[in-house]
């Protein structure tokens, strides 16, 4: 669609409501040995995206939602980040500040407290640093997984998908299996130590007007846990945020965030814990008529997104529901 057509549509078919965009990492992941699916935009693209959003929309933060939902008019955009990667502070934060824009950062407190490589980055590392030609079929891999593309992206995706489809009880054994079968061993601690933001960084961002929210402690898919374990993840996350930031956890995003990643028990627990708004991750946006405090929908931003595509999302957000691309991104984290 051309820029002129989009501009015409913006006037002809205006939406009203709350459009939330979600990012993970800012920078270039093209050469990374870790999970490249996590990079949402490089610095130049992110800068252009924030400039566009600030000039066309009301870029707001979760504390603004109470008033927005009372007034029930206008087009509002929330910029959000999940997980707590350090480039959110080193790369995204300066760009946001330069535009006077606010954003929300949902952090898994376990990554901040005990920095280590998460399973998705470690699996990518094991595959990419392997000197083998591929992986044999196994209890977890239905067929052989060749390392035949130059960047091994397909093999990484296959190994990540296998992790997500097995019971949580098998995860540790699967990682050990991959360590042996790739010949890479387990990733040493080094890269994990500087991968995440620190509490000091988060406090500085909050002082500059950013919002910090919860994303559990250990990043599990909450709906797959028994109710007491869900509660432990949510309550402990809220407790660490309160201890470090001096304010209760009012905003939360569901790890993975698909419709099946949270359930009625998750919602009830979040309400009991004092969370005002919880954010999902399966695409789409919310109008004032279909608003749901515990399922504020978000659209994934991906690194290959072209400038015009962001204009399309912001102009016609209802088209960006559960597309194939969004499902793939959602599957990543
Ligand atoms: Zn996440």
Do the beta carbons of residue 331 and residue 161 sit within 8 Å?
yes
CA separation for the pair 18, 23 (Å, rounded): 16
CA of 7 relative to ligand 1 center, distance in Å: 34
CA of 36 relative to ligand 1 center, distance in Å: 14
Do the beta carbons of residue 260 and residue 223 sit within 8 Å?
yes
Structure tokens at 270: 């979040």
From residue 42, alpha-carbon distances to 29, 161, 197, 310, 319 in Å are 8, 25, 18, 14, 24
The per-residue pLDDT for range 103-142, each reduced to its tens digit, is 999 999 999 999 989 999 999 999 999 999 999 999 999 9
Give the pLDDT confidence score for residue 313 in this predicted structure.
83
CA of 73 relative to ligand 1 center, distance in Å: 30
CA separation for the pair 217, 144 (Å, rounded): 34
CA of 84 relative to ligand 1 center, distance in Å: 8
CA of 253 relative to ligand 1 center, distance in Å: 8
CA of 168 relative to ligand 1 center, distance in Å: 17
Enumerate residue ranges in the chain where pLDDT < 50: 323-331
**Contact partners, residue 268, CB within 8 Å, separation at least 6:** none
Q: What angle do CA 190, 192, 195 make, to 5 degrees?
A: 120
**Residue entry with tokens 């091994």:** 152
Residue 114, judged by CB atoms within 10 A of its CB (0-12, 13-18, 19+), counts as exposed
Residue 211, beta-bridge partner list: 104
CA of 82 relative to ligand 1 center, distance in Å: 5
Taking alpha carbons only, the member of 60, 115, 59 closest to residue 83 is 115
Give the pLDDT confidence score for residue 198 in this predicted structure.
98
CA of 321 relative to ligand 1 center, distance in Å: 19
**Residue entry with tokens 């960084």:** 201
Give the pLDDT confidence score for residue 5 in this predicted structure.
63
From residue 138, alpha-carbon distances to 133, 145, 158, 162 in Å are 16, 10, 13, 11
Do the beta carbons of residue 73 and residue 61 sit within 8 Å?
no
CA of 106 relative to ligand 1 center, distance in Å: 8
Do the beta carbons of residue 130 and residue 182 sit within 8 Å?
yes
CA of 319 relative to ligand 1 center, distance in Å: 24
Residue 331, judged by CB atoms within 10 A of its CB (0-12, 13-18, 19+), counts as middle
CA of 23 relative to ligand 1 center, distance in Å: 10
CA separation for the pair 143, 125 (Å, rounded): 21
Model pTM score? 0.90
Give the pLDDT confidence score for residue 42 in this predicted structure.
93
CA of 53 relative to ligand 1 center, distance in Å: 23
Give the pLDDT confidence score for residue 190 in this predicted structure.
76
- Percent of residues, the chain, with pLDDT higher than 70: 92
**Residue entry with tokens 């093209």:** 30
Taking alpha carbons only, the member of 187, 186, 177 closest to residue 136 is 177
Give the pLDDT confidence score for residue 104 in this predicted structure.
98
Give the pLDDT confidence score for residue 183 in this predicted structure.
97
């Amino acid at each position: 669609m051309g820029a002129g057509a989009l501009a015409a549509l913006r006037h002809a078919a205006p939406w009203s409501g709350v459009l939330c965009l979600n990012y993970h990492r800012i920078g270039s992941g093209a050469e990374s040995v870790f999970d490249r699916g996590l990079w949402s935009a490089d610095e130049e693209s992110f800068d252009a995206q924030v400039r566009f959003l600030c000039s066309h929309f009301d870029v707001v933060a979760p504390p603004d939602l109470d008033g927005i939902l009372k007034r029930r008019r206008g087009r509002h955009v929330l910029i959000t980040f999940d997980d707590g990667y350090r480039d959110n502070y080193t790369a995204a934060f300066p760009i946001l500040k330069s535009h006077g824009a606010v954003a929300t950062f949902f952090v898994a407190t376990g990554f901040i407290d005990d920095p280590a490589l998460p399973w998705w980055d470690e699996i990518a590392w094991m595959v990419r640093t392997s000197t083998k030609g591929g992986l044999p079929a196994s209890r977890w891999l239905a067929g052989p997984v060749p390392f035949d593309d130059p960047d091994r992206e397909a093999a990484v995706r296959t190994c990540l998908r296998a992790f997500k489809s097995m019971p949580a009880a098998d995860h540790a054994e699967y990682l050990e299996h991959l360590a042996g079968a790739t010949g890479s061993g387990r990733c040493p601690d080094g890269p994990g130590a500087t991968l995440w933001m620190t509490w000091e960084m988060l406090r500085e961002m909050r002082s500059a007007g950013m919002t910090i929210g919860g994303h559990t402690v250990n990043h599990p898919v909450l709906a797959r846990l028994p109710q007491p374990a869900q509660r432990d993840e949510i309550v402990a996350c809220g407790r660490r945020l309160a201890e470090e930031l001096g304010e209760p956890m009012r905003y939360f995003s569901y790890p993975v965030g698909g419709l099946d990643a949270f359930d009625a028990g998750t919602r009830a627990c979040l309400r009991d814990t004092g969370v005002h708004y919880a954010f999902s991750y399966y695409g789409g946006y919310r109008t004032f008529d279909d608003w749901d405090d515990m399922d504020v929908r978000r659209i994934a931003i991906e690194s290959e997104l072209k400038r015009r595509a962001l204009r399309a999302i912001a102009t016609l957000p209802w088209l960006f529901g559960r597309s194939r691309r969004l499902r793939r991104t959602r599957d990543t984290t």
